[in-house]
Amino acid sequence: MRIRDTAWTPAARTDPDRDLPARAAAVADLMRGRNTTILTGAGISTPSGIPDYRGPDSPARTPMTFQQFVGDPGFRRHYWARNHLGWRHMEAARPNAAHALLADWERRGLVSGVITQNVDLLHLKAGSRRLVDLHGTYAVVTCLDCGLRQSRWALHEELDRLNPGFAERVATRGAIEVAPDADAVLTDTSDFRMVDCRRCSGVLKPDIVYFGENVPAHRVAEANDLVDGSDLVVVVGSSLTVRSGYRFVRRAVTTGTPVVVINRGHTRAHAEATLTIDGDCVDVLALVDNAL
């Protein structure tokens, strides 16, 4: 289940490591001759313009829960109005150098695969091939009643027809703040019209695992296979606050597999990691690549 854990919260921002080249070289030493799995979080995508929930400079945000979405039509309307604007920002985002390096390492046989907690498809756009989208992606919409799946592009056309000029009206009310998980921060969404499933008139939901919702078992199993087949797990850009990602660190640690953590700020796995680096994902991975 993807839940917020009240037992641990990220610490305040710390000063980045001063000896980054030496620590990056130590990561490269650990990777040599090992089968490495990468676990990524929102911190790898912030340089691409996609904000996170828990970074040291991030504003406080309260994401919608699964229970709110399925239990209240008003919450659903509010979400779809935000998503109607926010998903286009995510679709327009492009991979940064960190995504590109991980895809290149996979092609070179240095990385066996990527488990990502992000829904932004940036690893896929960068060229990663063995990829577990743990929390789904913004690009698919599913009917909760009959299971029909459709692309977000197709739904966008329907919502545009039902809500002509909505984006322009919102823009006149002030700047639009884009939030994580393919939505935007809006206040007044009362005039937005939703769409139901075209096959059964059921409830449509993005193929994104909400807080309070279970991660599909087949994705967990695929991620477990990657971790179990690895000699090293490298966490990139995640505070690991959410248990659905942290469980793979725990799985590695309990079997004696080394864990490296690269993140801006303290993480839940710092006490368990073999090596930690406090720094920007793009900068650190570039230094690791140079050392390799």
The pLDDT score that the predictor gives to residue 179 is 54
232 and 260 housed in the same domain:
yes
The pLDDT of residue 1 is: 46
Best CA proximity match to 99, nearest among 291, 265, 282: 282
> Which of the following is catalytic: 78, 84, 135, 266?
135
56 lies in some domain: no
Instruction: Give the rounded percent of residues in the chain with a pLDDT score beyond 70.
Output: 84
Q: Per the annotation, where are the binding residues for Zn(2+)?
A: 143, 146, 197, 200
**What pLDDT does 215 receive?**
95
Pick out the residues of the known binding site: 143, 146, 197, 200
Report helix, strand or coil for 70: helix
* 123 classed as catalytic: no
Provide the pLDDT for residue 86: 82
For residue 2, tell me if it sits in a domain. Answer: yes
The answer to the question of residue 174 being in a domain is yes
pLDDT computed for residue 55 by the predictor: 52
Where residue 264 sits, what CATH number does that domain have? 3.40.50.1220
Answer yes or no: are the C-beta atoms of 236 and 285 closer than 8 Å: yes
Residue 7 has a pLDDT of: 43
Q: What is the pLDDT of residues 172-201, one digit of tens each?
A: 554 445 555 555 555 667 789 999 999 999
Domain enclosing residue 220, as ranges: 1-50+95-134+214-292
Q: What is the mean pLDDT of each run of 10 residues along the chain (292 residues)?
A: 44 57 96 97 94 57 82 90 86 96 98 97 98 96 96 94 84 52 61 92 95 94 98 97 93 97 95 96 97 96
Report which of 291, 286, 277 is spatially closest to residue 235, judged by C-alpha positions: 277
Looking at the whole model, is its pTM more than 0.85? yes
